[in-house]
Amino acid sequence: MHHLQNLTGTKIFNNIFRPHISAGVLNSTTVFRTNNMANATQDNFTDPARGDYTLRATSAAIDAGMVFPPYTDGFTGAAPDLGAFERGVEPWKAGSSIPESEWGQAAAW
């Protein structure tokens, strides 16, 4: 079982935690803002079973975040949404966008 050991100095803003975050991993130097959703359900997300963590139109996470430049630049509603994806904006994709054909010698890594 994986346990978070230490969040010293961590600032936690505009996040969604599923199923919850334990108070035991937070300490006096952790900044855990009230604009986090600590006990989110699958109802917040479009299709988590298929890896789609965009927000449903009825999600309480929409416009529930705080402005935190430059990380929240480009939000579309009254405030940034909680979670990784802003509703109404094309979701970003993790990883490199460089085509494999352009990897060159680095592909041998």
pLDDT tens profile 9-21: 777 788 887 666 6
Check residue 83 and report its DSSP letter: S
* pLDDT (average), residues 44-72: 90
Is residue 37 classed exposed, middle or buried when 0-12, 13-18 and 19+ CB atoms within 10 A define those classes? buried
Q: What is the pLDDT, as a whole number, of residue 79? A: 95
Domains: count for the chain: 1
Task: Give the span between the Cα atoms of 24 and 11, in whole angstroms.
Answer: 16
| Residue that has been written with the tokens 């009230």 in this structure | 34
Residue 4, in any domain of the structure: yes
Domain that holds residue 66: 1-86
Residue 67, in any domain of the structure: yes
Alpha helices per DSSP H over the chain? none
Task: Give the span between the Cα atoms of 88 and 50, in whole angstroms.
Answer: 19
pLDDT tens profile 29-57: 556 666 677 666 666 889 888 989 899 99
Residue 37, in any domain of the structure: yes
